[in-house]
């Protein structure tokens, strides 16, 4: 009987027993779920840290490579005044590629160390990468990658590739309660580094610090043979459209992007298997001494005749490496109503090019009519 005078029969008591058992069991389940959730969340944080390490390696490689390429151009340009030969040497360890690799490694190791240290402080995880345990309280750089882990290859005229070998990474939870550890190997990486919009020291030095040139790709280059109003074999399109005595795309090529004010016209750069690569330009090579693959070479044009202007009657080719070699060119003609007009640059000076490059660039029409 209860305090209200109700009597509990044995049957009622039997009905209460499962409720009590379920209540106790549910409490245990909740505790178990809380424990499982804690483990799951901790595991998710650990794997996220591993993902962030892989992404950081890729991003930091691109940033470090770009910075090293920029530093290489400044190394040549800034050494011009006090050095009769400011260019890099042509063999390791003084060559431009080794310089860029060394500087990329140094910055990459510093950035990865800083990234891992920040991840440890934010997540309570310990990170070991390529056998090096990152100390979250230390500020020094760890030599995670060395020259054996990295290789630089030239892939196209406007960039290069940095390949990194796979390295082991271990992520462990600092707390001893769960003792979680996650091991992985980073994937081998192939990171593209653009050199577009870097200044070309080859032009700057060889024109006696009078011409600034920025590496910006010519936008109309294509290997498509489906042209309208052009030569199907021409991949440059310099003469696709002729009007008012101008080869319009050649004229746009010479004007360039003109993005940097105060330096006048800066012609675009275009792929040229007979030209010079970015590394060639850092080492002042010629197209005959280049060791770069043809697919990585490019050319541009020189305006204003800054080197040969005081040589009467001299008509050097506008093509950069031909110009510096002192090779003469001949003009390109257009005709209108039977009147010949010589193709000129944006400032009105006659444009000269060798027969070899007229043929290579699809500019050997005789003459172009409009």
Structure tokens belonging to residue 203: 């032009």
Low-confidence ranges of the chain (pLDDT < 70): 1-44, 174-179, 223-233, 259-263, 310-311, 366-367, 369-370
Whether 353 contacts 332, CB under 8 Å: yes
Supply the pLDDT for residue 232.
41
Q: Are 86 and 205 in contact (CB under 8 A)?
A: yes
Cite the DSSP H helix spans in the chain: 10-78, 96-123, 201-206, 248-255, 278-282, 320-324, 355-360
DSSP one-letter code for 211: -
pLDDT of residue 31: 45
Q: At what angle do helices 96-123 and 10-78 cross, to 10 degrees?
A: 150
Note the pLDDT of residue 7. Answer: 55
**Can you list the alpha helix ranges (DSSP code H) found in 124-264?**
201-206, 248-255
Which candidate, 154, 100, 90, 158, places its Cα nearest to that of 298? 158
Calpha distance 35→37 (Å, rounded): 5
Chain segment 107-141, per-residue pLDDT in tens: 999 999 999 999 999 988 899 999 999 998 888 99
What integer pLDDT is reported at residue 54 of this predicted model?
93
Instruction: Give the pLDDT of residue 341.
Output: 83
Q: Strand order of the sheet with strand 368-369?
A: 339-342, 333-336, 368-369
- Look up residue 162 and give its two tokens: 């940095």
Please say whether the beta carbons of 183 and 262 come within 8 A: no
pLDDT more than 90, % of the chain: 55
The pLDDT of residue 367 is 67
Judge whether 68 and 159 are in contact, CB under 8 Å: no
Q: Quote the pLDDT of residue 228.
A: 42
* pLDDT recorded at residue 340: 82
Q: Are strands 330-331 and 368-369 parallel, antiparallel or unpaired?
A: unpaired
What are the residues facing 333 on neighbouring strands?
342
pTM, entire model: 0.83
Domains of the chain: which residue ranges?
A: 10-194, 201-369
Give Cα separations from 323 to 291, 317, 328 (angstroms). Answer: 21, 5, 8
Output DSSP code: residue 336: E
Residue 102: both structure tokens together: 């060394």
Angle at CA 235, nearest 5°, toward 232 and 237? 85
311/347 Cα distance (integer angstroms): 19
- If DSSP codes are grouped into helix, strand and coil, which group holds residue 122? helix
Give pLDDT tens digits for 226-270.
444 444 457 898 887 777 777 888 999 999 987 655 667 899 999
């Amino acid at each position: 009987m209860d305090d209200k005078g109700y009597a509990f029969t044995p049957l009622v008591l039997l009905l209460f027993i499962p409720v009590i058992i379920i209540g106790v069991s549910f409490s245990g389940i909740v505790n178990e779920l809380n424990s499982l959730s804690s483990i799951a969340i901790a595991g998710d944080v650990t794997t996220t840290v591993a993902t962030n390490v892989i992404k950081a390696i890729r991003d930091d490689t691109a940033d470090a490579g770009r910075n090293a390429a920029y530093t290489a151009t400044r190394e040549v340009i800034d050494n011009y005044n006090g050095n009769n030969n400011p260019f890099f040497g042509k063999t390791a360890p003084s060559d431009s590629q080794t310089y860029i690799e060394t500087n990329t490694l140094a910055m990459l190791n510093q950035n990865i160390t800083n990234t891992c240290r920040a991840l440890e402080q934010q997540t309570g995880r310990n990170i070991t990468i390529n056998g090096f345990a990152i100390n979250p309280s230390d500020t020094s750089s760890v030599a995670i990658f060395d020259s054996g882990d990295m290789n630089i290859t030239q892939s196209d005229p406007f960039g290069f590739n940095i390949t990194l070998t796979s390295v082991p990474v271990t992520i462990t939870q600092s707390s001893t309660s769960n003792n979680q550890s996650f091991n992985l190997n980073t994937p081998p990486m192939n990171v593209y580094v653009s050199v577009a919009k870097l200044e070309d020291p080859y032009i700057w030095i060889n024109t006696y610090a009078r011409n600034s040139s920025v590496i910006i790709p010519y936008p109309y280059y294509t290997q498509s043979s489906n042209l309208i109003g052009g030569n199907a074999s021409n991949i440059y399109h310099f003469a696709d459209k002729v009007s008012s005595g101008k080869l319009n795309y050649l004229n746009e090529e010479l004007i360039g992007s003109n993005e940097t004010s105060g330096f006048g016209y800066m012609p675009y750069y275009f792929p040229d298997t007979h030209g010079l690569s970015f590394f060639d330009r850092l080492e002042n090579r010629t197209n005959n001494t280049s060791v770069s693959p043809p697919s990585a070479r490019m050319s541009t044009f020189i305006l204003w005749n800054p080197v040969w202007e005081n040589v009467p009657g001299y008509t050097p080719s506008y093509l950069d490496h031909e110009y510096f070699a002192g090779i003469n060119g001949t003009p390109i003609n257009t005709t209108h109503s039977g009147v010949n007009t010589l193709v000129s640059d944006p400032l009105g000076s006659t444009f000269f090019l060798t027969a070899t490059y007229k043929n290579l660039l699809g500019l050997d029409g005789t003459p172009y009519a409009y």
